[in-house]
A and B are shown apart, each in its own frame.
Chain A
């Protein structure tokens, strides 16, 4: 069973446009809604599904919630955590490592409008500015931080301007235009590789769905606002662009949609049929080596399971 998921309808162009502007040797520090970047660079849907089902083949062995991915191949897609903004200073540190070694890789870290209120955002921009670190800050201003509108997130005139005081150039881009996104991230990456330092990109977009599959956005999203953004659907827009150039047809759409659905369904079925993580995975990977006290606790858990049977999975349901 998959307990919850984070939809990314409406922000596809932000992710694909950004990812397409980077090399597969660059380092991604994503937030939990950024799996489009991983898909673009060839992470197999079945690898994601293993995480969604929390099974034994999941990189994290089912220790994390769904959509908290971690990949090292074919791209470095840093392990995702739930606290907001903590990954930003980490991206700066990783970028500093590239800088010190004289390598021309860049880090891209992505977050929402809500993330700009976090401690990590401010520390990260400040450090990146001082160090001229090769890092791209991608703020996906999707209008909402769960149920808090971006108008209540900040009194500043948008989010890109927040870079100015840190000496980090801020750029505003139409986040629903995949080509504009590609261009903006490409320019930021070029700057970073040339030793010119970080860029803050504000991608103006809209979350056309709930925060998660358990969230009911109709309680707080004004209908008219959603309707207005639906007219700017990034996928529809790019389709129109391609159609005009004769690169996209109804037949192609049917074929591709069907192929994608089959691929995703097959991935889900494979992951669902994969066995769950063993009890020992609770205790492994806490440290490089299993310390004595964890060995003892693990042995006690196995012993209890032998004597009293397995623990009841219960009916825990995540509220968000």
Chain B
């Protein structure tokens, strides 16, 4: 089986989808001949022509708005927002329009579309090329929010997202674009949405994470294991709709929970996981839930390595929760 990086897996997934279904289109800023700033769309214009992979004017509102119209008129658009930080001009189109179209028309009109966007820190991108805005979207009924952490899942989840009848925000951890490598089956396969991935089995502490934080948590867990603390790591990979039962089972299993994400803490996605555990399985809990997150500040540039949860911070939380 070929070994691909995460970005190569995304590229492969796009090619597979476009070969299989001529309704699939790829467009956005610089995705054409250049192949995207991260090269996610490299070679698509060459293989499929300018009609199916093309550059657009520099307008996120226009990109997403046009995608909605295409989706409502029989196409399967996969548009790219160059950095998730630039998605906000399209927020109205995503939140007011794509997310609500099925509901407000009783299913007469729908928006089967994918918005791909790189998110997160780790590339010295500063305030505006580093943010993790998943919670803005997970707070919006009607959207699906997907974040892969491995090349295998990136391709399989992307193909599942493109086939999905509802709008999907597909957030790609740019820090892992070239660092994550793994076996990726050739051709078509899907990883079903709304399923969890157990990264590591363990009986002492359950750690929930997704995207770029997964390898950080894996490294911290390896260090914890040296102290005899065995972590049970769950990669959430679809944040909305979430497999809530799977989360609760994993929390119950150890009774000790750490949640890790890059995004700021206050009203971050971890708050929902924490509340879910408190509401449903608190009687099984042996320790308070601990969150390891970005700070409640804008995203810094020079000191980004202090802002991003790293092995030290994750390990510290695991130790504290394990010993409580």
| Contacting residues, chain B, for A87 (C-beta < 8 A) | 97
Chain B residues positioned under 8 Å from A72 (CB to CB): 108-109
| Residue B62 is within 8 A (CB to CB) of chain A in the complex | yes
Residue of B nearest to A99 (CB): B51
Give the contact stretch, choosing among B98-106, B215-223, B261-269, B307-315.
Answer: B98-106
Asked whether, in the complex, the Cβ of B61 is within 8 Å of the Cβ of A120, the reply is yes
Contact B65 A285 (CB under 8 A): no
Q: How large is the interface on A (under 10, 10 to 19, 20 to 34, 35 or more residues)?
A: 35 or more
B70 interfacial contact with A, CB 8 Å: yes
Contacting A100 at CB < 8 Å: which of B51, B57, B71, B93? B51
Could you tell me the distance in whole angstroms from the C-beta of A62 to the nearest C-beta in chain B? 10
Q: Fill in one digit per residue for A73-94: 1 if any B CB lies within 8 Å of its CB, else 0.
A: 0000011010100111111111
A293 touching B242 by the CB < 8 A rule? Answer: yes
Per-residue CB proximity of B218-246 to A under 8 Å, as 1/0?
A: 00000000000000000000000111110
- Contact between chains at B72 and A78 (CB < 8 Å): yes
Alpha-carbon gap, A95 to B68, bound state (A): 11
The answer to whether B30 has its CB under 8 Å from any CB of chain A is no
Which residues of B in the span 68-90 have a Cβ within 8 Å of any Cβ on A? 68-75, 77, 89
The count of residues in chain B whose C-beta lies closer than 8 Å to any C-beta of chain A is 48
Partner of B101, one of A79, A96, A97, A124: A79
Task: Point out the residues of chain A lying under 8 angstroms from B69, CB to CB.
Answer: 29, 89-97, 107
From B61, B96, B103, B243, A89 is in contact (CB under 8 Å) with: B61
Q: Any chain B CB within 8 A of the CB of A127?
A: yes
Q: CB < 8 Å: which of B68, B92, B106, B109 contacts A93?
A: B68
Contact of B92 among A86, A126, A287 (CB under 8 A): A86
Docked complex Cα distance between A94 and B194 (Å)? 30
**B241 touches which of A58, A78, A79, A292 (Cβ 8 Å):** A292
Closest to A123 in B: B62
Select one of B56, B102, B105 contacting A286, CB under 8 A.
Answer: B102
Task: Give the residues in chain B near A90, CB-CB below 8 Å.
Answer: 65-66, 68-69, 72, 97
A191 at the interface (CB under 8 A from B): no
| CB of A252 within 8 Å of the partner chain | no
Q: Which residues of B contact A130 (CB under 8 A)?
A: 56-57
Question: Is residue A304 within 8 Å, beta carbon to beta carbon, of the partner chain?
Answer: no
Contacts of B57 in A (CB 8 A): 123, 126-127, 130
> Cβ of A42 < 8 Å from any Cβ of B?
no
- B110 at interface (Cβ–Cβ under 8 A)? yes
Inter-subunit contact B103/A286 (CB<8 Å): yes
Across the interface, do A89 and B104 meet the contact criterion of CB distance under 8 Å?
no
User: B274 to chain A: closest CB distance in Å?
Assistant: 16
- With both chains docked as a complex, state the minimum distance between the C-beta of B65 and any C-beta of chain A, in angstroms: 3
B61 touching A119, Cβ below 8 Å? yes
A-facing residues in B147-188 (Cβ within 8 Å): 164-166
Decide if B106 touches A60 in the complex (CB within 8 Å): yes
B67 sits at the interface (CB 8 A): yes
Say whether A70 faces chain B, with CB atoms less than 8 Å apart: yes
Question: Which of B59, B74, B93, B96 makes the CB contact (< 8 A) with A127?
Answer: B59
Q: Are B102 and A285 in contact (CB under 8 A)?
A: yes
**Chain B residues whose CB sits within 8 angstroms of the CB of A81 once the complex forms:** 96-97, 100, 104
Inter-subunit contact B70/A96 (CB<8 Å) = yes
Chain B residues contacting A94 (CB-CB under 8 Å) are 69-70, 72-73
> Mask for A104-117, Cβ within 8 A of B = 1, else 0?
00010000000000
Q: Are A100 and B101 in contact (CB under 8 A)?
A: no
By the criterion CB–CB under 8 Å, are A120 and B105 in contact? no
Known: A126-B57, A287-B166, A293-B241. A120 touches B106 (CB 8 A): no
B142 at the interface (CB under 8 A from A): yes
Residues of B within 8 A of A60 (CB): 103-106
Q: Does A301 contact B (CB under 8 A)?
A: no
A162 within 8 A of B: no
Name the residue of chain B whose CB is nearest to the CB of A91.
B69
Docked complex: A11-60 residues within 8 A CB-CB of B: 27, 29, 58-60
Does the CB pair B70–A123 fall under 8 Å?
Answer: no
In the complex, 5 of the A-B residue pairs with CB atoms within 8 angstroms, ordered by the A residue number, are A59-B105, A86-B93, A127-B56, A127-B66, A287-B165
Could you tell me which B residues sit within 8 Å of A by CB distance? 25, 51, 56-57, 59, 61-62, 64-75, 77, 89, 92-93, 96-97, 100-110, 141-142, 144, 164-166, 194, 241-245
Known: A93-B69, A93-B73, A119-B92. 19 other contacts (CB 8 A): A61-B106, A64-B104, A70-B105, A79-B101, A89-B61, A89-B69, A90-B65, A93-B66, A93-B68, A94-B69, A94-B72, A97-B70, A97-B75, A127-B62, A287-B166, A288-B107, A288-B165, A291-B194, A294-B241
